[in-house]
Chains A and B, each alone.
Chain A
Amino acid sequence: MVKKDNSQEVNMADRHEPEVAPKDATRRQFLQYAGVAGAALAMSDTILPTAAEAVPAVAMPLLMPLAMSNTGPGEIPRKPLGRTGVEVSVIGLGGSTLGNAASYEEAEQIVHEAIDAGVTFMDNAWEYNEGRSEDWMGRALQGRRDKVFLMTKVCTHGRDRNVAMQMLEDSLRRLKTDHLDLWQVHEVIYYNDPELHFAPNGVIEALEQAKQQGKVRFVGFTGHKHPQIHMKMLQLADQHNYHFDTVQMPLNAFDATYRSFEQTILPEALRRGMGALGMKSLGGGGQPLMQGAINVQDALRYAMSLPVATTISGIDSLSVLRQNLAIARGFKPLSVQEMQAIRTRSAPMAADGHLELYKSTKHYDAAEGRKQHGFPAQEELPV
């Protein structure tokens, strides 16, 4: 699964080699899964000491891309979703931005054109636009439900399973369907979220109940804040012997070197046979594009080249849909060298987090989640 990258050995031999040089089988095993070595530590002699000129060497061999099907010219390829046996389109339609389309008519056309083009993965969440996102998607999916893999998210933000089950009924009703293909815990972003979710009578029990009732096929969780919080979820799942089918996270060229989900969570997810779902390929609000740090082709292609099942893309107009479909049609993953070049180029501007504000500030933490935790609203915070 992993090609050995010789340059990594050179870098690891630098003068400040990490003191602990793991040599055991576990390390090899880990590298096999992860394909990342010396991620944060390897350095190059070519670094310039002036920040203005410095290009921190990012010696990170790629995780190998997943096998794709439906790869004809002009077609949108598909990739396997973890161990579920399901394949999904390499690009997915984001539910939050769908609710921001100018009108229902445009939203409907976005959904229809996407499906006709071969997009199968539909994202949503109970709380997006106070239900409008689910509502519009449900209406647009009439007669097309069987052509898509439909996901939505549950927004207990720490509350109990009964709240979750009520939300499930709301979501099914709005989406006009009797089952979800995937139901995920939304916005795991606070340090105590994992404990709250796995607490007795918490949302994890609702995920199980919904599966037993046949209302949900697969389950997972999402979040945009910090890999350590995702890691805590994975560790608690291990401790409870619980299997998430999927995990959703921000994945883009800037994430590669800043509080990186790519370097920490993605390999762990793959090791557990989970399907990885990428989001925020354009940095959430498109900050990197607006600041000229990357172009949309490189940004989206980078995200789609990672070993994720799909990259969920925020699309609020037909023009954005068409732009992204053009990138997804006949998509071929970037080469190791191309990925490396994009990472290296992106690294210097990535390191403070201003291009990934969902990690580095509170601007993307939804009001409902803050309220349910008893945290002050954003406006009350001096941030």
Chain B
Amino acid sequence: MEQNGKADINSSPHSLGRRELLRNAATLGMGVAVGLQSMREAEAKRKTQSSQQTPLTILNGPPVGPDEIPRRMLGRTGIPISVLGLGGHHLGDVKDVNEAMTLVHEAVDAGINFFDNCWEYHNGRSEDWLGRGLQGRRERVFLMTKVCTHGRSSQLAMQMLEESLRRLQTDHLDLWQVHGVTFDNDPELAYAKGGVLEAFDKAKQQGKVRFVGFTGHKDPSIHLKMLQMGYPFDTVQMPLNPFDASFFSFQHQVVPEALRRGVSPLGMKSMSGTADAIKQGVLTAEEALRYAMSLPVVTTIAGMDSLDVLHQNLRVARGFKPMTPQEMQALESRCAATAADGRYELYKVSLKYDNPEARRPHHYPIDQTQKEVKEMLQEAGGQNKQAH
């Protein structure tokens, strides 16, 4: 659907009738009960799939050559973003700072302009290495990092912002997001007086942050609560993959609501976090990535911990054409039966994959004997792979 050089990338089975959604939301009494509402919306979506509706869209960026990475416009901001983004966590897993810097350079030169990071990844190493890699290239990228108050105050958030800016060696972030909105009371804590959203306002006023958003992987109803409480977020980040399509689905529950509000969806966990399903042969890495990138998202943030993985992903992203609705449907069907207990999306179904740094300020118990927790705490303590 080419129109003035901008195409509608929101292919029909994943679009939602706006009027239908609004009608449905209104009859229910939106805000009365988030879980209930999200079910109704999912229902509304299913009902309207075949009927003719004005689709909610994300616009493509300016046309690019056949071997270049396409771009999509970030919501209300009108900024073209590469359909593939570089994940900050895995950047800190690269074997040393030199390879990490090379990875960043190659990514930028290949046309990736979305860079993800987070204040708490590898105790600052991820931000530090990205900052070094971006020297001389800062203005070519759209730089995001996340703030890790986990329910704590705006003052703490502002301290974290200063640290992030210093490590990233820049005077401003393009996007600053609340990291890991995971617990059912996280939205209330974020919106509380003196909470992290006040830091968003302040940082924007000070010109240190251009856009703001939030992230999380636990439950679509928590994302919906964040959106419906009304703060004008620019972005919302969530796990999007073919398993999510039929299991507590962010794709079906959160993406339409975000689009309706003009909030740009950002995808992550295209390989379902651990890539177990790929190791088990349910689908290939390329299928998983192409599926995620075919959804109505601005970008798909992918973890790349080596140049090999970067090159692999670049092959998918260069000249990327979205899957057809039939291809997507077929992949969803293939994944549906094993999706229904959440075994391939463990971040949704087990406390074991909760970030201990998020559990701690909430005073939730932490099982120190657990392998994953040990690893996460060790990472947070920066025990290995220090920057040199």
| Smallest CB separation, B353 vs chain A (Å) | 8
Q: Is the CB of B340 within 8 A of A56?
A: no
Per-residue contact bits, chain A 342-383, to B (CB 8 Å; 1 contact, 0 not)? 000001111111100100111001000010011110000111
| Smallest CB separation, A199 vs chain B (Å) | 14
Q: In the complex, which of the residues A21, A36, A349 contacts B364, with contact meaning CB atoms closer than 8 Å?
A: A349
* Residue from B25, B36, B150, B191 whose CB has the most chain A CB atoms within 10 Å: B36
Given contacts A30-B32, A54-B189, A191-B246, contact A41 B152 (CB under 8 A): no
Looking at B114-122, B163-171, B224-232, B308-316, the stretch in contact with chain A turns out to be B224-232
- B231 nearest CB neighbor, chain A only: A16
Looking at A85-93, A107-115, A214-222, A227-235, the stretch in contact with chain B turns out to be A227-235
A-B contact count (CB 8 A): 204
A67 interfacial contact with B, CB 8 Å: no
A257 interfacial contact with B, CB 8 Å: yes
Q: Is the CB of A365 within 8 A of B189?
A: no
Give complex CA distance A97, B327 in Å.
49
Q: Is the CB of A383 within 8 A of B361?
A: no
B:339-356 near A, CB below 8 Å: 339-343, 346, 349-352, 354
Interface size class of B (residues with CB under 8 A): 35 or more
Q: Is the CB of A56 within 8 A of B189?
A: yes
Looking at B91-99, B104-112, B177-185, B293-301, the stretch in contact with chain A turns out to be B177-185
A7 interfacial contact with B, CB 8 Å: no
Give complex CA distance A36, B261 in Å.
25
Per-residue contact bits, chain A 24-61, to B (CB 8 Å; 1 contact, 0 not)? 10110011001011111101010111111010110000
B:23-42 near A, CB below 8 Å: 25-36, 38-39
Q: Is the CB of B35 within 8 A of A264?
A: yes
Per-residue contact bits, chain B 6-48, to A (CB 8 Å; 1 contact, 0 not)? 0000000000000000000111111111111011000100000
Give complex CA distance A268, B35 in Å.
12
A:186-240 near B, CB below 8 Å: 190-193, 226-228, 231-232, 235
A128 interfacial contact with B, CB 8 Å: no
A19 interfacial contact with B, CB 8 Å: yes
Given contacts A16-B230, A51-B150, contact A24 B26 (CB under 8 A): yes
| Smallest CB separation, A245 vs chain B (Å) | 21
B:196-235 near A, CB below 8 Å: 196, 219, 221, 225, 228-231
Q: Is the CB of B35 within 8 A of A263?
A: yes
- B186 nearest CB neighbor, chain A only: A351
Interface size class of A (residues with CB under 8 A): 35 or more
B:131-169 near A, CB below 8 Å: 150-154
Q: Is the CB of A361 within 8 A of B350?
A: yes
A259 interfacial contact with B, CB 8 Å: yes
List of A residues within 8 angstroms of B225 by Cβ = 40-41
- A30 nearest CB neighbor, chain B only: B29
List of A residues within 8 angstroms of B150 by Cβ = 51
Give complex CA distance A52, B192 in Å.
14
List of B residues within 8 angstroms of A20 by Cβ = 25-26, 30-31, 228
List of A residues within 8 angstroms of B363 by Cβ = 51-52, 348-349
- B346 nearest CB neighbor, chain A only: A383
List of B residues within 8 angstroms of A257 by Cβ = 184-185
Q: Is the CB of B248 within 8 A of A226?
A: yes
List of A residues within 8 angstroms of B191 by Cβ = 16, 43
Q: Is the CB of B341 within 8 A of A190?
A: yes
Give complex CA distance A346, B72 in Å.
44
Give complex CA distance A353, B154 in Å.
26
Given contacts A43-B192, A49-B153, A354-B364, contact A30 B28 (CB under 8 A): yes
| Smallest CB separation, B192 vs chain A (Å) | 4
Per-residue contact bits, chain B 49-69, to A (CB 8 Å; 1 contact, 0 not)? 000000000000000000000
Q: Could you show 15 A-B contacts with beta carbons less than 8 Å apart?
A: A16-B191, A16-B231, A39-B32, A40-B221, A43-B191, A47-B195, A54-B151, A231-B36, A235-B43, A348-B185, A352-B359, A353-B351, A360-B350, A362-B350, A381-B343
Chain A interface (Cβ < 8 Å from any Cβ of B): 16-22, 24, 26-27, 30-31, 34, 36-41, 43, 45, 47-52, 54, 56-57, 190-193, 226-228, 231-232, 235, 257-260, 263-264, 267-268, 291, 347-354, 357, 360-362, 365, 370, 373-376, 381-383
User: Told that A258-B184, A362-B349 touch, could you supply 8 new A-B pairs with CB distance under 8 A?
Assistant: A16-B229, A30-B29, A31-B32, A228-B38, A228-B221, A263-B33, A361-B350, A362-B342
